[in-house]
A and B are shown apart, each in its own frame.
Chain A
Amino acid sequence: MSALLSVRGLKAFYGPIEALHGVDFEVEQGGVTALLGANGAGKTTTLRALSAMIRREGVIEFRGEPMRARAPEDVARLGVAHVPDGRGTFTDLTVEENLKLGAYIRRDRAKVKTDFERVFGYFPRLAERLRQQAGTLSGGEQQMLAISRALLLAPSLLLLDEPSFGLAPLVVAEIFRILRQINQSEGVSILIVEQNANLALDLATRAYVLETGRVVVGGAAVDIRADDSVRRAYLGY
């Protein structure tokens, strides 16, 4: 399989402070890559750097070409949808308006309409709450909304920042089941950041473990899973 996203020597900065010190990883075409690691390892920072939300250096190749986008809005236009930590809900807007914003840059109206239907197929609860203010949704529903909003961009790469955060186990299981479906039936490649390593390794084809801004281990998800020493040292279970 060829790489959809290939990252080499990625550095990222918060103001003058370097938070990533040269990270290398790949997302295969149609694959799921998991970024694992403890709090403060640089997982969220990596996603932010990819979306050009913060200053970054290094080589980012997307679809075999260097990614030239300099601003988040340009990265989105390349077909990279980012579900940020905290879900990025537009709390004062309705569910429907949140979803419409997901498709804001698209001009293929007929396709957008069928994509709305598809998203409602995954998350029927959203269809029931279209006119509701998004801020009044439960945490799980807001996560579903955030994923749906990202899907409506018709992305080729989905960046997910801790989709399990703060949610009940049953809801988490449902969301991960749907993520698998999205990946397998729609061919959307996924780069997922998770603290819950077990969950992420179930979904992922590749995995990388980060520690204080560096990749310490990387490879096929099955190998990472099988490696007891890695598991105990970095993943804590």
Chain B
Amino acid sequence: MVELLHQLSSGLALGGVYAITALALVMIFQATQLVNFAQGEMAMFSTYVAWALLQNGWNYWPAFAFTVALSFVGGVVIERAIVRPFAHAPILASVIVFIGLGFIFNALAGFFFGYTVQSFDTPFNGRPWFGAKFMSAHESGAIVVSLIVLALVFAFFRFTPLGLAMRAAAQNPASARLVGVRVGWMLALGWGLAAAIGAIAGMMAAPIVYLDPNMMGGILLYAFAGAVLGGIDNPWGAVLGGFTVGVVENLLGAYVVGTEVKLSVALIIIVGVLVAKPSGLFGRRIVARV
């Protein structure tokens, strides 16, 4: 029983990471109808920045805050400098740009920080929370951090004028411009937010999966499975899908398929959803006239 609870809670901890990564994917997708395949590598690079700060004697939370802020700025700059020029290019060109961006960040991380696996600090040390023996302090902390990120993101989009403008820009850019919304900047802000969320996801995942330039490959795949499962155009669905994939992946890995092949669970989910219900559990069917 304790073993099962333990598997469930580790599933939820990584599920939180998948959920916020899926949310970042959905944010970009809603605005541009494109999946940012570099999301994982950007997050990994951000995590290395935090690691370098920690190595240089920074305390955890200042390093955390600085990394998130820097990632936000980095996301904005990437959108303006690299993504923007391809705004009117065919989809395939953008996809190639994203994949290339991922490789660049992967190589840069290896170049600057090396390919050896590093351990990454967690701010949640010590005894398990609430005396829960089946759950480590970091797992509890990671779940709480994910939930806080989700709450902040939803509050931002729901209750602030800027969040409203970003939703308007994603939904109907032409109309948004007519009421004075600077749609171009909204897209850049979206990239900034997605990069900042990715940095947090990376920093929460690294103590569990350890830090190396390929750490986010699997995570991005699971997050993508979560987003597809929930519906890639529905932020709530993607978040729920992320948590679900986390738990399912852990349980299947522990009891059914074994840890070696559990990454294929993500692929099976993706293929299964796309075959059976392409819009996902909570997504909308989009019908296009061609």
Give chain A's interface residues, CB within 8 Å of chain B. Answer: 51, 53, 71-73, 76-77, 81-82, 84, 88-93, 97, 100-102, 104-105, 149, 153
> Which B171-186 residues sit within 8 Å CB-CB of chain A?
171-172, 174-183
With A73-B183, A100-B161: A93-B177 Cβ-Cβ less than 8 Å: no
CB distance A84 to B174 under 8 Å? Answer: yes
With A100-B161, A104-B161: A72-B168 Cβ-Cβ less than 8 Å: no
Q: Which residues of A contact B174 (CB under 8 A)?
A: 53, 72, 84, 88
CB distance B177 to A71 under 8 Å? Answer: yes
> Is B12 an interface residue when CB atoms closer than 8 A count as contact?
no
CB distance from B179 to the nearest CB of A (A): 5
Contact check: which of B161, B164, B180 meets A76 at CB < 8 Å?
A: B180
Which residue of chain B has the shortest Cβ distance to A100 in the bound complex? B164
Q: How far is the CA of A82 from the CA of B183 in the complex (A)?
A: 16
CB distance from A88 to the nearest CB of B (A): 4
Classify the secondary structure of B's interface with A: helix
Q: How far is the CA of A76 from the CA of B181 in the complex (A)?
A: 9
With A73-B182, A90-B171, A92-B171: A97-B177 Cβ-Cβ less than 8 Å: no
> Is B24 an interface residue when CB atoms closer than 8 A count as contact?
no
Q: How many residue pairs bridge A and B at CB < 8 Å? A: 66
Q: How far is the CA of A107 from the CA of B181 in the complex (A)?
A: 14
CB distance from B164 to the nearest CB of A (A): 6
Give chain B's interface residues, CB within 8 Å of chain A. Answer: 161, 164-165, 167-168, 171-172, 174-183
Q: How far is the CA of A102 from the CA of B180 in the complex (A)?
A: 8
Contact check: which of B168, B178, B182, B183 meets A93 at CB < 8 Å?
A: B168
With A81-B179, A100-B164, A104-B180 known, 16 other A-B pairs at CB within 8 A are: A51-B178, A72-B177, A73-B177, A73-B180, A84-B174, A84-B175, A84-B178, A88-B175, A93-B171, A97-B167, A101-B165, A102-B179, A104-B161, A104-B179, A104-B181, A105-B179
Q: Which residues of A contact B172 (CB under 8 A)?
A: 88-91
Q: How far is the CA of A51 from the CA of B171 in the complex (A)?
A: 20
15 A-B interface contacts by CB (under 8 A): A51-B178, A53-B177, A71-B177, A72-B174, A73-B181, A73-B182, A88-B175, A88-B178, A90-B167, A92-B171, A97-B168, A101-B165, A104-B161, A104-B165, A105-B180
Which residue of chain B has the shortest Cβ distance to A106 in the bound complex? B180
Q: Which residues of A contact B183 (CB under 8 A)?
A: 73
Q: Which residues of B contact A101 (CB under 8 A)?
A: 164-165, 168, 176, 179, 181
